[in-house]
Amino acid sequence: MGDLMGKKRQRAADGGERSLIGNAEDRDAPTTGFVYVLAFFSALGGFLFGYDTGVVSGAMLLLKKRMNLSALWQELLVSSTVGAAAVSALAGGFLNGWLGRRICILLASLIFSVGGVMLALAPDKVVLLVGRIIVGLGIGIASMTVPVYIAEVSPPHLRGQLVTVNALFITGGQFIASMVDGAFSYLSEDGWRYMLGLSVLPAVLQFLGFIFLPESPRWLLQKGQNQEALQVLRWIRGDQNVEEEYDSIKANIEEEEKEVGAGGVVLLRMLSHGPTRRALIVGCGLQMFQQLSGINTVMYYSATILQMAGVRDDKEAIWLAAATSATNFVFTLVGVWLVERVGRRKLTLGSLLGTGLSLALLAVGFLLSAQSSPPVTLHPVDPNNSTYRLYGSCEPCMLDPDCGFCFRENGTKVFESSCVPVHQASIDHAAWGRCYNKTEDIKSPIWAYNYCPTSYSWIVLMGLFLYLAFFAPGMGPMPWTVNSEIYPLWARSTGNACSAGVNWIFNVLVSLTFLHVAEYLTYYGAFFLYTGLVFLGLLFVLGCLPETRGLQLEDMENLFMGQLCSCGASSPTHNRHVHYIRPSPGCSSAQYGALDSDGAIAYITLK
């Protein structure tokens, strides 16, 4: 083992002398359009991921009235997809290693298609639930397969951008879903069928596209299909000389098999092998902190934030939610532009810092709203003698999941306010009293469940916008991008399956615990808690995440040779001296290999 590790370090050192020149050659080499075709059809899986998770919020506004869904059924229809995705993401590692990336993407698009048809034609809520579970299975497989496939077919100088395109398609899917929700919200009868069923179109497009697209050359080499792997590599790289890249990948696979063995449970082999164990901790930690930073809570709570700002109409709320999704999409596009310019590490650190400050601003907005919470001025006779009578203002009433706030308003002034029980079958109205049979008349009292009217909503809206602006370029795509890169080929499927599973598991945990956390800590307390977790994530990334920009996938393992959190300060050239030699006028760039942008030549000498 020691000899093999020494050989790997020596090979990395030998390659290090050529890395700066090699990277310059990679950037100057022409990139075939076929790479972008592969990235586009692969990222359709990300689009479906975003669409199916985003469309449900608007569809639920129509479904709960059409099918008379209780709060329990609404939670089931939303969380069942996330739970199914967590299971299939964990199983996706085995499927990727067994069937390959291409077959798994075909399988995911087929599952999407079946689930979409079932959702569009669902006669009742039970079939709807089954359809949501099926869609969740497709989302889980796609979420861990697509980044791996894109990373394995991309040239090093484009890999970060192309993998981040998958995250761009996720946010684009969420944006399109909110637009579709807005368009079909005017069809009160069957609008939800179109919302949920339209996911079939991109799923079919992806399925048809991947019938003609190749398997990952790295997976083919791992399975001993050498000639086919070489043909695919030539197909992807076009006119470039691929023999050196092919030999490097092949030698690395053979070395890995000698080093860690070819048999046994892959996860156990990863945990017993230092570099992959450290990479797995970093990858899973990134996915965990992505969810602990509260993105799904913020997106879920955006509708409530809009209600706090005075939006009462369902259709208007749907269109404003589309603006929220558009913000997420636009700033993910910024991440695509930045990832190969500033690197994964700096982009993630900057994103976490801005996200933490934005969450603190959100928390301050909720704190000010709680301190100015309107008082309860009416105490109607209670037929059941409920505890709601103990509440003297909106804030404690709103934090009780069994109660809501019924009030009238005149401009910004709240009057004739009362705290009454929520209806057991629907949170849209009170169990009894004047907010039970309320109408759309402007003189009708307003029913507020889960929020309080406030004049500080502009602070919360600003916090929401800044949160998305900082989260979307970095912590949105980078956990997926980094995880697609940092594992050796033999561990890549399992590593991505584990990290994707961690993402979905913490997605469920945060979603299920948010209301309970808010009940005990209040909403501002919950967002202060997320702020603290984000700054823990910042420390984790600062200490443990190395820079992976520009490296070959086969060289990533060298970043994790040292102790776990000594790699954060590392870079591909952290222990190398860089010398720049100005060429003489009679020398051409071809004689010197590759010129830097200022006309200097980069040579690297290892200590």
pLDDT tens figures, 217-247? 999 998 989 999 999 999 998 867 788 889 9
Taking only the tens place, the pLDDT of each residue in 55-70 is 887 787 788 777 877 7
How many domains in the chain? Answer: 3
- Which candidate, 140, 128, 127, places its Cα nearest to that of 96? 140
- Within this chain, do residues 348 and 397 fall inside the same structural domain, yes or no? no
Give whichever of 293-307, 310-324, 386-400, 402-416 has the largest mean pLDDT. Answer: 402-416
Residue 32 above 80 pLDDT?
no
Task: Tell me the C-alpha to C-alpha distance, in Å, between residue 428 and each of 71, 162, 475, 594.
Answer: 10, 43, 34, 67
Chain-centroid distance, C-alpha 388: 39
The span from the first CA to the last CA of the chain, in angstroms, equals 24
- Within this chain, do residues 41 and 144 fall inside the same structural domain, yes or no? yes
Across the strands, what pairs with 420?
Answer: 404
Classify residue 168 by burial, with Cβ atoms within 10 Å: 0-12, 13-18, 19+: buried
Helix (H) or strand (E) holding 105: helix 101-121
- Within this chain, do residues 316 and 398 fall inside the same structural domain, yes or no? no
Average pLDDT of the residues of the chain: 82
Helix (H) or strand (E) holding 408: strand 403-410
Residue 28 above 60 pLDDT?
no
Taking only the tens place, the pLDDT of each residue in 307-356 is 666 666 666 767 777 788 889 999 999 999 999 999 999 999 999 999 99
- What is the structure's pLDDT at 587? 43
Averaged over 23-44, what is the pLDDT? Answer: 75
Cα dihedral 401/404/405/411 (nearest 10): 90
Residue 560 above 60 pLDDT?
yes
- What is the structure's pLDDT at 547? 92
Q: Are 443 and 454 in contact (CB under 8 A)?
A: no
Confidence of residue 437 (pLDDT cuts 50, 70, 90): confident
96 found inside a domain: yes
- Within this chain, do residues 447 and 460 fall inside the same structural domain, yes or no? no
Give whichever of 46-55, 303-312, 481-490, 564-573 has the largest mean pLDDT. Answer: 481-490
- What is the structure's pLDDT at 599? 41
Confidence of residue 439 (pLDDT cuts 50, 70, 90): low
Confidence of residue 17 (pLDDT cuts 50, 70, 90): very low
201 found inside a domain: yes
Q: Are 474 and 335 in contact (CB under 8 A)?
A: yes
222 found inside a domain: no
- Within this chain, do residues 44 and 187 fall inside the same structural domain, yes or no? yes
Q: What is the DSSP letter of 201?
A: H
- Within this chain, do residues 356 and 387 fall inside the same structural domain, yes or no? no
Averaged over 481-494, what is the pLDDT? Answer: 91
Spatial separation of the C-alpha atoms in residues 475 and 334, rounded to whole Å:
12
Spatial separation of the C-alpha atoms in residues 454 and 552, rounded to whole Å:
53
- What is the structure's pLDDT at 595? 42
79 found inside a domain: yes
DSSP 293-356: TTHHHHHHHHHHHHHHTT---HHHHHHHHHHHHHHHHHHHHHHHHHHHHH-HHHHHHHHHHHHH
- At residue 579, the 3 state secondary structure works out as strand
- At residue 441, the 3 state secondary structure works out as coil
Task: Look at residues 530, 547, 564 and tell me which one is the last residue of a structural domain.
Answer: 564
Taking only the tens place, the pLDDT of each residue in 255-281 is 877 766 656 788 898 999 899 999 999
Chain-centroid distance, C-alpha 7: 37
Q: Which residue has the tokens 């199916």?
A: 52
Record the tokens describing residue 420, joined without a space. 């009454």
Q: What is the DSSP letter of 537?
A: H
* Domain around 423: 374-453
Q: What is the CA radius of gyration of the chain?
A: 27
Chain-centroid distance, C-alpha 473: 11
Residue 109 above 90 pLDDT?
yes
Residue 565 above 90 pLDDT?
no
- What is the structure's pLDDT at 228? 94
Residue 16 above 80 pLDDT?
no
CB-based contacts of 76, cutoff 8 Å, min separation 6: 129
Strands of the sheet with 446-448, listed across from one edge: 413-421, 403-410, 446-448
- What is the structure's pLDDT at 577? 37
Angle at 23 between CA 259 and CA 472, to 5 degrees: 90
Residue 486 above 60 pLDDT?
yes
- Within this chain, do residues 63 and 194 fall inside the same structural domain, yes or no? yes
Task: Tell me the C-alpha to C-alpha distance, in Å, between residue 46 and each of 150, 318, 541.
Answer: 12, 22, 25
Helix (H) and strand (E) counts in the chain: 21, 5
Residue 399 above 70 pLDDT?
yes
Q: Are 445 and 435 in contact (CB under 8 A)?
A: yes
Record the tokens describing residue 62, joined without a space. 């129509």
- Which candidate, 300, 405, 305, places its Cα nearest to that of 74? 300
- Within this chain, do residues 520 and 549 fall inside the same structural domain, yes or no? yes
- Within this chain, do residues 49 and 154 fall inside the same structural domain, yes or no? yes
Classify residue 323 by burial, with Cβ atoms within 10 Å: 0-12, 13-18, 19+: middle
Residue 102 above 60 pLDDT?
yes
Averaged over 451-460, what is the pLDDT? Answer: 83
User: With pLDDT > 70 as the criterion, what percentage of the chain qualifies?
Assistant: 81
Q: Which residue has the tokens 């209040």?
A: 522
Record the tokens describing residue 552, joined without a space. 């070959």
Taking only the tens place, the pLDDT of each residue in 114-160 is 999 999 999 999 999 999 999 999 999 998 899 999 999 998 888 88
CATH code for the domain of 69: 1.20.1250.20
Residue 580 above 70 pLDDT?
no
Nearest-10 crossing angle of helices 33-66, 71-99: 160
20 found inside a domain: no
Task: Look at residues 395, 421, 453 and tell me which one is the last residue of a structural domain.
Answer: 453
Residue 463 above 80 pLDDT?
yes
Confidence of residue 383 (pLDDT cuts 50, 70, 90): low
- Within this chain, do residues 418 and 477 fall inside the same structural domain, yes or no? no
575 found inside a domain: no
Spatial separation of the C-alpha atoms in residues 213 and 34, rounded to whole Å:
10
- What is the structure's pLDDT at 311? 64
- What is the structure's pLDDT at 304? 65
Across the strands, what pairs with 393?
Answer: 375
Confidence of residue 3 (pLDDT cuts 50, 70, 90): low
- What is the structure's pLDDT at 561? 87
Task: Look at residues 436, 453, 470 and tell me which one is the last residue of a structural domain.
Answer: 453
Task: Tell me the C-alpha to C-alpha distance, in Å, between residue 122 and each of 57, 67, 115, 129, 130.
Answer: 17, 11, 10, 9, 9
Averaged over 79-101, what is the pLDDT? Answer: 90
492-510 residues labelled b (16+ CB within 10 A) or e (exposed): bbbbbbbbbbbbbbbbbeb
- Within this chain, do residues 405 and 438 fall inside the same structural domain, yes or no? yes
276-308 residues labelled b (16+ CB within 10 A) or e (exposed): bbbbbbbbbbbbbbbbbbbbbbbbebbbbbbbb
246 found inside a domain: no
Spatial separation of the C-alpha atoms in residues 35 and 208, rounded to whole Å:
17
Residue 588 above 60 pLDDT?
no
Residue 172 above 90 pLDDT?
yes
Residue 589 above 50 pLDDT?
no
Spatial separation of the C-alpha atoms in residues 398 and 90, rounded to whole Å:
38
556 found inside a domain: yes
Residue 441 above 90 pLDDT?
no
- Within this chain, do residues 167 and 79 fall inside the same structural domain, yes or no? yes
Spatial separation of the C-alpha atoms in residues 474 and 356, rounded to whole Å:
13
